[in-house]
Amino acid sequence: MKVAIVSESPADEAAVLILLVGLLQQPIEVFSSPTLRRRPGGWTGVLRTIPTVLRHLYYNTDADALVAVLDSDRSVVHQAAHDAPDAAEPDCRLCELKSEVARIRGFLRPVEGRQPLKIALGLAVPQVEAWYLTGQDPHVSEAAWLSGLLSGTLPYDSKSLKTKVYGTDRPSLDLETRRAREEAERIVRDGKLPLLEQLFPGGFGALAADVRGWCPGQ
């Protein structure tokens, strides 16, 4: 399977690839092209360029699937209830991404011999470093973050999460990528993917459900 992965940084994409292989239990060929590499970073960069990326992948490549993952930061945490008809939350980044993907897919015309692109979308709450702490810090979870948002007292912040994972809150890209791979590999190797989904049901759970939909019965 040939998959394009889009996230907020190359380090995130390296980790998402490992988690994706763990979910699918099959080899994945990463699809890359100048169109994907040219996009700006950050969640807004992903959101702004997803229409171009989708059209490019569908019409100009043989990619089988697209995976996109955003950080929630302090925005609304995605809930399963958001997926009900007309229940999307306007301040939820995953809802916004889902809506944009659905809109663009509605405009894609049939192409002879071309199968529809498989899509999987996820939201790291509050950022992908929280996922990397699965099995290491039981206090880091979507529930803890949501409780902090509601109470106005956050249980941790971006700097503390980065420091726990990288040993510094300002890692180089090389360090960030190496540690992201190491933690993703640990999660898969130690059988922690179910725990990752349990701790982050709205964001990683959504991604895992989409991926399972690619291979019904797996």
Q: What is the mean pLDDT of residues 160-176?
A: 97
Cis omega (within 30 of 0) for bond into 126: yes
Kindly report, residue by residue over 15-58, the tens digit of the pLDDT: 999 999 999 998 899 988 776 766 666 788 888 889 999 999 99
pTM across the whole model: 0.93
Q: What is the mean pLDDT of residues 49-72?
A: 94
Residue 88 is predicted with a pLDDT of 81
Kindly report, residue by residue over 123-149, the tens digit of the pLDDT: 999 999 999 999 999 999 999 999 999
Mean pLDDT of the chain: 92
Residue 47 is predicted with a pLDDT of 87
What percentage of the chain has pLDDT greater than the value 70? 95
- CA-wise closest residue to 134 among 199, 77, 208: 199
Query: In the β-sheet with 65-71, what is the strand arrangement from edge to edge?
Result: 29-30, 2-6, 65-71, 118-124
Look at residue 70 and tell me whether its pLDDT is greater than 60. Answer: yes
Q: Between the ranges 47-56, 101-110, 190-199, where is the mean pLDDT highest?
A: 190-199
Torsion, Cα 160 166 167 168, to 10 degrees, reads -70
Residue 133 is predicted with a pLDDT of 98
Q: What angle separates helix 10-24 from helix 173-189, to the nearest 10 degrees?
A: 10
